[in-house]
Amino acid sequence: MKVEKRWTISNMLSLSRVVLLVPVVIMILRPGSENRVAAVVIMLLAASTDFFDGLLARALNQVTDFGKILDPVADKICVITASLALVAAGDVPVWFALLVLLRDVAILIGSTVIISRRRIVVQSVWTGKLTVTFIAAYLVLATLKVGVLQQITSIFLYLSTFAVFVSFAVYVNIFRKDMMQGANT
């Protein structure tokens, strides 16, 4: 029996994104533009860990099933938590946070069903990664609250919303095909 090493450098980077949420939420909820700038700096640091965790996992031959689960779960925790903090601060509409939450919960449930039935981990797809990128850009812009960037912030709100629906449809199709394939084996 092969024992998979769980605590690789890349998995620690994924986990660090969740840890970095604590100061991000604190800074979002505190008044003052300097706190918002600090929150954005930490958000960008967290986003860089998302880039480097996958890169390091492949480069160091440390791709694990645990990492395939941890990385997207960390992304979902970060996006949902930042969205809810920005809703509490009055900077993101409630409907948007609920839309992201429902999408992510549905994807997690679908993935869990596939893992439990088929014993395989469904990897993220490019539409999901693009959606997270649009959402992250929107959340960063909403955190900054810069008047000059309000049009760009609105554009990213609509891009993110569209991407949420597209990526959800892609994941539903993947899960449907995977479940049908599992039923035929």
Q: Give yes or no for residue 46 having a pLDDT over 70.
A: yes
Write out the chain in H/E/C secondary structure: CCCCCCCCHHHHHHHHHHHCHHHHHHHHHCCCHHHHHHHHHHHHHHHHHHHHHHHHHHHCCCCCHHHHHHHHHHHHHHHHHHHHHHHHCCCCCHHHHHHHHHHHHHHHHHHHHHHHHHCCCCCCCHHHHHHHHHHHHHHHHHHHCCHHHHHHHHHHHHHHHHHHHHHHHHHHHHHHHHHHHHHHC
Q: What is the pLDDT of residue 131?
A: 93
Q: Give yes or no for residue 2 having a pLDDT over 50.
A: no
Read off the pLDDT of residues 153-162 as tens digits, 9 standing for 90 and up: 999 999 999 9
Q: What is the pLDDT of residue 179?
A: 72
Read off the pLDDT of residues 132-141 as tens digits, 9 standing for 90 and up: 999 999 999 9
The domains located in the chain, with CATH, are 9-184 (1.20.120)
Per the prediction, the chain carries an average pLDDT of: 87
In the chain, the amino acid numbered 95 is W
Q: What is the pLDDT of residue 183?
A: 62
The backbone torsions φ and ψ at residue 145, rounded to the nearest 5 degrees and listed phi first, read: 50, 45
Read off the pLDDT of residues 73-122 as tens digits, 9 standing for 90 and up: 898 899 999 999 999 999 999 999 999 999 999 888 888 887 777 776 66
CA 132 from centroid of its chain's CA atoms: 5
Q: Give yes or no for residue 182 having a pLDDT over 70.
A: no
- Map tokens 């014993």 to a residue: 119
In the chain, the amino acid numbered 38 is A
Q: What is the pLDDT of residue 15?
A: 93
Q: What is the pLDDT of residue 129?
A: 86
* Nearest-10 Cα torsion for 133, 135, 137, 138: 170
Read off the pLDDT of residues 145-178 as tens digits, 9 standing for 90 and up: 888 889 999 999 999 999 999 999 998 888 888 7
